[in-house]
Structure 1
Amino acid sequence: MTYNSPLSDGRAADLAAALAATDPQTVLDIGCGWGELLLQLLAAAPAATGIGVDTDPRTLARGRANADDRELTSRVAFLEGQAAELASGPADVVLCIGSSQAFGSNADALRALYPLVRPGGRLLFGDGIWERPPSAELIEALGGKDGTTDLAGLIDHAISAGFRPLAIGSATRAEWEQFESGYLADWEEWLVRNDGHPEAAAVRGTADAHRDRWLRGYRDVLGFSYLILGRPA
């Protein structure tokens, strides 16, 4: 799985190009995982340096290895911890994709991210949205707390936080299918090779339950937005 969100290679390239066009010197990726988009942005913006922050040491190790493979090690640091503690100051570009829960709601996240973006800088904010109203059963299946809004509501939150929306996009069904298939792939490949394994029943149950939640639950209901937001100078 290349990205830990429903994101195609084409959309990723377009986002990286749009952000690189602002000629950033500093980039901060909050909840970076293995930092694939961060690395693509640094490759497209050769004057920039980046910091990726996450709490998962395994994904950070993958990011460091990928940076080494692309000869970007001197321009990026992958740090374990919280962004508020590790950020050295406002960055020209801030990435926060699928990590709003670290701040509370998406509205909370946008307010918290505002001071981390340099005046005149950009925030790439990726977050879940409702494509259509969810059932009470779906909300419960996804954790029981509905802090998600529709796309229009998310834009309202961004404006209330002080940002201006410069580009608005949402993941396609094809991007979701690629993401969900990738999420399930390790389990399914293992099951194909290890059908008689003592743990196969448990792995099969986990994979089938997730697929069922997707196909019979949140497919075409839960969406994912990609917003390029500008902080006024």
Structure 2
Amino acid sequence: MTDTPPPSRYVWLDFNAPLSDARARRLVERLVHPAPATVLDFGCGWGELLLRLLEAAPGAVGTGVDTDGSLLARGHAAAVARGMADRVSFVEGPAATWREPADLVVCVGASHAFGDTADALRALRRAVRPGGRALFGDGFWERPPTPGELSRMWPKASADDYPDLAGLVDLAVAAGFRPLWVEAASPDEWHDFESGFLADREHWLLEHGDRPEAEQVRASVERHRARWLRGYRGVWGFGYLTLGVPSAPSAAG
């Protein structure tokens, strides 16, 4: 038995994605026009982006859906602290089973909850009410990965795992969206995200690195850093698509 606390999780991150505060502000400004009455976030994590959207749309109510109860509890605590507990609900469960549409639907880094990227975009389209908006954040290949690079990424990484950015937009159009804004995470956003993702364990190792359990923590950190710096850095991108839905079926053309 040991009384050594485990490493914290996501303490150094505002968002569980390569997303800067400046980009988040711009996304929020675009997404809340026209003013949504309901906001839905698939794979919301601790709900920071959801809460910012609700702050920018004071007449709206929101729901965050995720399978990680500890992150949802963090989101609820943040909502209470910001005086928004009566406007947002955090629901633990799979996004793929959700059936209540909303005016604004967010899915950032959670396409795996629906299957592949195309499946996620089709599910997202069904979840957005006519005339509504969506934010879809997902990976894409900056360039075709080499076999050597793929071997240093996640297990069983394949060139078929993601499209390029143009292909990502094509999938959104095929799902019934109009692409209102297309952007991608910058190298600095990636560096901040990956460093923040590892920071909890790195700081823990500074204090507890001599403990027997540190070996497993150290191995996990080094494995992830190698995948990032020697595998997908500069190869795997992350796109943010602001998407619109026609206000009437006949307008989809």
Determine whether 1:91 maps to 2:111. no
Instruction: Give 2:7's aligned residue.
Output: none
1:203 and 2:217 correspond: yes
Q: Is the 8 A contact 1:128 1:222 kept in 2?
A: yes
Cα distance in structure 2, aligned partners of 1:31 and 1:197: 34
Structure-1 separation of matches of 2:175 and 2:97: 21
Segment of structure 1 superposing worse, 66-75 or 192-201: 192-201
Q: Does 1:126 align with 2:137?
A: yes
Tell me the TM-score normalised to structure 2 length. 0.88
Aligned residue number for residue 173 of structure 1: 187
| Letter matched to residue 162 of structure 2 | T
Tell me if structure 2 keeps the 8 A contact 1:126–1:226.
yes
CA contact (8 A) 1:28 1:87 kept: no
Match of residue 41 from structure 1:
53
Report how far residue 102 of structure 1 moved: 1.1
Tell me the secondary structure at the aligned position of residue 131 of structure 2. Answer: strand
Instruction: State the alpha-carbon separation in 1 of the partners of residues 99 and 75 from structure 2.
Output: 18
TM-score by length of 1: 0.96
Q: Residue 135 of structure 1: CA displacement?
A: 2.2
Partner of 2:66: 54
Q: Any conservation in 2 of the 1:31–1:97 contact (CA below 8 Å)?
A: yes
Q: Is the 8 A contact 1:30 1:53 kept in 2?
A: yes
Q: Is residue 96–residue 114 contact of structure 2 (8 Å, CA) maintained in 1? A: no
Structure 2 counterpart of 1:117: 128
Answer yes or no: is 1:160 the counterpart of 2:169. no
Asked if the contact 2:66–2:94 (Cα under 8 Å) also holds between the matched residues in 1, the reply is yes
Q: Shift of the alpha carbon at 1:83?
A: 3.1
Amino acid at match of 1:202: Q
Superposed CA RMSD in Å reads 1.2
2:199 is the counterpart of 1:185? yes
CA contact (8 A) 2:165 2:239 kept: yes
The secondary structure found in structure 2 opposite 1:73 is coil
Moved segments of 4+, more than 4 Å = none
- Using the aligned pairs only, state the percent identity: 56
State the alpha-carbon separation in 1 of the partners of residues 155 and 132 from structure 2. Answer: 34
Q: How many residue pairs align between the two structures?
A: 232
**Which whole-Å CA distance do the structure 2 matches of 1:214 and 1:83 have between them?**
27
- Taking the aligned partners of 2:96 and 2:168, their CA distance within structure 1 comes to 23
Matched position secondary structure for 2:86: helix
- In the TM superposition, residue 24 of structure 1 has moved relative to its aligned partner by 0.5
In structure 2, list runs of 5 or more residues that go unmatched.
1-12, 248-253
In structure 1, the partner of 2:85 is 73
Taking the aligned partners of 1:176 and 1:93, their CA distance within structure 2 comes to 26
Q: CA deviation at 1:136?
A: 2.9
Q: CA deviation at 1:143?
A: 3.2
Post-superposition offset of 1:3:
0.4
Alpha-carbon distance in structure 2 between the residues aligned to 1:217 and 1:147: 14
1:225 to 216, 239, 242: 239
